[in-house]
Amino acid sequence: MTEKKVFILLTNTGSVLTRLIKLYTKKPYNHASIAFGPDLSEVYSFGRKTARNPFIGGFVKEDVTAGLFKQADCAIYSFTVTDIQFQRMNHYLQKFKTQKHLYRYNFIGLFGVMFNKPITRTKAFFCSQFVASVLEECNIHHFEKPLSLITPPDLQAVDTFRLVYEGKLKNYHNQYKTNKICIQWPCIPV
């Protein structure tokens, strides 16, 4: 049975919404995405659908080389999955891709996090809630608290995730292109 690497991308884009969330959380990263491949060309999350309006959100495929991500700080974690888990993840994501018009951003759920009261809404997620749902639905990691309370720091705390890179996201891409990023232990450049 072969194994594949999947990545968790945590970012701080410096947007107004991110700065407001950071005032509350006091944490360096307040956005979470899941990526399939070390080049980060296939990255999914729940976030803004248009660059200019943070209040129109839902399921998105993110371009981490453009827009708010151009100056983002990040932490990238990797983890290994089996072929079966990888297939489950693709199958689970397929329903989001084909029905993305039905999904909304769970703004109300953010208030639930603030008051430690889970607020689950049908077809609505915030970023870390979505990433946690992928991990749990595909039998990769079980969280001890409701998914609607999972935050980016909770994802950082998963002991099976290995930190691959921390710094400017644009620098990661430059280092990746020159084969200076190590995605497995012992360190073997990509």
**Mean pLDDT computed over 90-118:** 95
Contact 156, 76 (CB under 8 A): no
The CATH number linked to 169 is 3.90.1720
Query: pLDDT digit string (tens) for 35-68?
Result: 999 999 999 999 988 777 767 899 999 999 998 8
**Range(s) of the domain holding residue 47:** 3-177
Residue 29 in any domain: the answer is: yes
- Radius of gyration of the CA atoms of the chain, in A: 16
Strand 124-125 relative to strand 104-105, pairing: parallel
What is the per-residue pLDDT for 190? Answer: 44
Q: Could you tell me the sign of the dihedral formed by the alpha carbons of 163, 167, 169, 172, in that order?
A: negative
Residue 185 in any domain: the answer is: no
Residue 78 in any domain: the answer is: yes
What is the per-residue pLDDT for 188? Answer: 43
State the Cα–Cα distance between residues 64 and 165, nearest whole angstrom.
Answer: 15
Query: How many structural domains does the chain have?
Result: 1
Residue 184 in any domain: the answer is: no
Residue 189 in any domain: the answer is: no
Residue 56 in any domain: the answer is: yes
* pTM score above 0.85: yes
Residue 186 in any domain: the answer is: no
Residue 131 in any domain: the answer is: yes
**Mean pLDDT computed over 152-168:** 95
